Amino acid sequence: MTSVSNWLAAAMNLATADGEMVLATIWHKSGYSPDNVGARLLVTHDAVHGSMNTGRRRKEIADSARACMNRKLTGAVAQYPLGNILGTGNGSYEVVFSVFQCGGNLPDWLVKAFQLQQEGKRFVLSQTIETHADNVLSDFRVITPDIADSDPLTQRAQSMLANGLAPDSSSRIHTGHLTTLLQVVGEPQLNVGVIGSGEMTKSLIAQLSLLPVSVQWLAPGFNADSERSVAKAPLSPEALEKLPGRTRLVIATGDHELDYQYCKQALLSNRFTYVGCIGSAKKADLIKARLAQRKIASDQLIIPVGLPSIDGKQPAIVAASIVAQLLSFKDNSTSAGKIQSNEETGSIRQ
Domains of the chain: 3-187 (no CATH), 191-328 (3.40.50.720)
Considering the chain, what is the average pLDDT of its residues? Answer: 83
Q: What is the distance between the alpha carbons of residues 286 and 191, in angstroms, rounded to a whole number?
A: 28
Contact between residue 4 and residue 117 where contact means Cβ atoms under 8 Å apart: yes
Amino acid 119: pLDDT = 80
Amino acid 54: pLDDT = 62
Q: What is the mean pLDDT of residues 278-307?
A: 95
Q: Is the pTM of this model over 0.75?
A: no
| CB-facing half-sphere around the CA of 25: CA atoms within 13 A | 27
Q: Which of 54, 68, 56 is nearest to 20 (CA)?
A: 68
Determine which of 75-89, 105-119, 124-138, 292-306 has the lowest per-residue pLDDT on average: 75-89
H runs (alpha helix) in the chain: 3-13, 56-70, 83-86, 108-118, 152-162, 199-208, 237-241, 256-269, 281-293, 315-328
**Cα separations (Å) of 251 from 205, 254, 304?**
12, 9, 10
Residue 235: partners with Cβ closer than 8 Å, 6 or more residues away: 195, 218, 219, 220, 222, 253
Contact between residue 23 and residue 7 where contact means Cβ atoms under 8 Å apart: yes
Given a cut of 80, whether residue 87 has pLDDT beyond it is no
The confidence band for 36, taking pLDDT boundaries of 50, 70 and 90, is confident
Strands 301-302 and 20-30: unpaired
